[in-house]
Amino acid sequence: MNAGYVRLSRDDDKRNYVSIENQKLIISQYAAEQNIRIHRWYEDDGISGYVFDRPGFSQLMEDLDKDIDTVFVKDFSRLGRHNAKVLLLLDEFRERGKHLIVIDDSYDSRNPEDDTIGIKTWYNERYVKDTSKKIKRAIGARQKEGSLRTQPPFGYARSHDAEEIIEIVPMEAEYIRLIYDLYLNGYGYRKIANHLTAAGISTPSMVRHEREIKKCSCSKRPVALQWSDGMVKAILDNDFYTGTFRLRKRARATVHGKDKRIPKEEQYVFEDHHPPIIGKMTFDLVQDEKAKRIKYHYRGNRSLPGSPDFKISNPFRNCLFCKDCKSPLTPIIRKTTCGQRAYYICSKYNTKGSRYCPKAHLIETQDLTEDVIACIRLCRNFLHEAIAGYNPKDFAPDKKSPEEKRLELESAVLEQKNRLKTLFFQKVKDLSGNPDKEALITEGYESLQNDILSHIHSLELQLQSLNDIRTEASDERENLMSPLDVMDELLEKKNLTCRDVDILIEKITVDQMGMPEIELKYELSGFLPYSPANELNSHENKIIHTVMNLILEDMRGYTSAKYLSAKLSEAGFKMNSRQVLPYIRMLLKMGIIKPSGNSRKPYTVIKSYEEIRKITESNLHCYGDGRWYAGDGI
């Protein structure tokens, strides 16, 4: 049985373009002249000859062992453009006893006496590599100056009026912001993807497909109907949403090889290239959060927005550690007779016991929140003026202001226009001196002129985009809250979200007594002239003084945990009977009370009221660098 093989790829030279049908016609005419009939056709349309994993070609090689005896092709380049593989293929045909006829190159596998076969196949490969080199050079030049036009990601679209302008799609931008907010509130890729799918939000590929339908140009790319982890991760990784245009992120070393990631320092980066959807500070917070989650194996919140159990369960998920074993503290919620108890405990102690960490390092969730807010309040009161004028962007290295960038771009445009003038005068000079070479000189100068004009156009687009961003920023500046306003709002609501902690807290370590050591970001803790530990301990001192005064005011001669917890709660220190036990132990150690053996009157007051009054007037704890609480002794 006789077969014909035809192939066409996009990298073929259009001037020597031969269609699939023309190849079939040439093969059919040659076969007819030899009184041969082509029984079957194999073809690969739009596939490069440099690769040999082609559907039609693979089927042909498979059928050689079945019923194919003779194969006709137009020329060697149709078989392939890889020199070594084509030569091996010719040997394979001879070894398998199959007949191969290459019409234009006058090759017959039964009489392979042409000594120029290697040269022909080498030239075919060289053509592909030269074409690839030219394309890479052209793309690289456009990447370097930022004029390469790429498809904007989900959340953006090119303007209908001017394709070079990238605009924000408002509804998609809201979804982008939602993804960033959910991630900063403790949710992982899978939970965010499930939430977006459940909410009926279109995936990026669905949006792309809808736009293609409107333009009547549908591609063969698959359309995902549900959000996936990868889609969410791609959005959280992409700094395009901060207004940054990044080119040459990937490159391939060989023709049709695999793309390899280029290091960030070698990529071409253009800041403030288009309007941002996400602020750079938010983007940086997300990157820090991702690094911490990987390091500490964070699993994310279990509930979804809109569900009955939706809550931010662990705002301190990536900054709370045991002071002794350095392990993260894990949140625990237990049901008690008084309701619900929430606290943090050393994860290593909780899972492996005291052999691996000496103490539980337990701290109540409410106590930790109050301690952190108290520490923030200290910074707010002492650093009032510094915080009011604080701008996180000031800490970004090597950042130029929009005005400096505008002046640089204007200077670059002027420089390129001057080059264009110089080029014009040089062209006139060369033409006057060599009139017989007018066509050659004109062609050479046109290429240089087009390069300069393209560069000018790219610079003007960047300048226009920068001016648009400056206008939008000036319009929104009046609506922005100052850092001091943000801090005051946090102190007023008296609770902390994951985002609040990510912005303000660098690290918290908890000692064996359950007292936190808080380190704020931006080195704010170092500006305080006194120790936050002392201020946090003063809260404990107030509770101790209140307990002593309750003993002093109670004229019954005995006390109980139930009585003290009720009175402390009335005084603003909400405690149950169990939480007041450390203060009972403190009173026992000081010799103020002793166990009575009577369950109705469990503790008898044994010191006189005058002695108790003297104790309350003294400084119960000496301030120092350490942390303590009621059970830590006097």
Query: What CA–CA distance (Å, rounded) separates 103 from 331?
Result: 77
Nearest to 379 by CA among 536, 572, 493, 502: 536
Query: What CA–CA distance (Å, rounded) separates 165 from 350?
Result: 56
What pLDDT, in 10s, does the model give residues 2-58? 999 998 875 554 444 457 888 888 888 888 888 888 888 998 888 877 778 888 888
pLDDT of res. 447: 65
pLDDT of res. 403: 67
pLDDT of res. 230: 92
pLDDT of res. 193: 93
Is the pTM higher than 0.75? The answer reads no
What pLDDT, in 10s, does the model give residues 230-288? 999 999 999 999 988 888 777 765 655 566 777 777 777 888 888 899 888 889 888 88
What pLDDT, in 10s, does the model give residues 498-527? 777 887 788 899 888 788 888 877 666 665
Dihedral sign, Cα of residue 101, residue 106, residue 108, residue 112? negative
Residue 327 near residue 321 (C-beta atoms within 8 A): yes
CA Rg, the chain, in Å?
Answer: 38
Residue 305 near residue 178 (C-beta atoms within 8 A): no
Across 337-440, where does the E strand assignment appear? 339-346, 363-364
Query: What CA–CA distance (Å, rounded) separates 348 from 359?
Result: 10
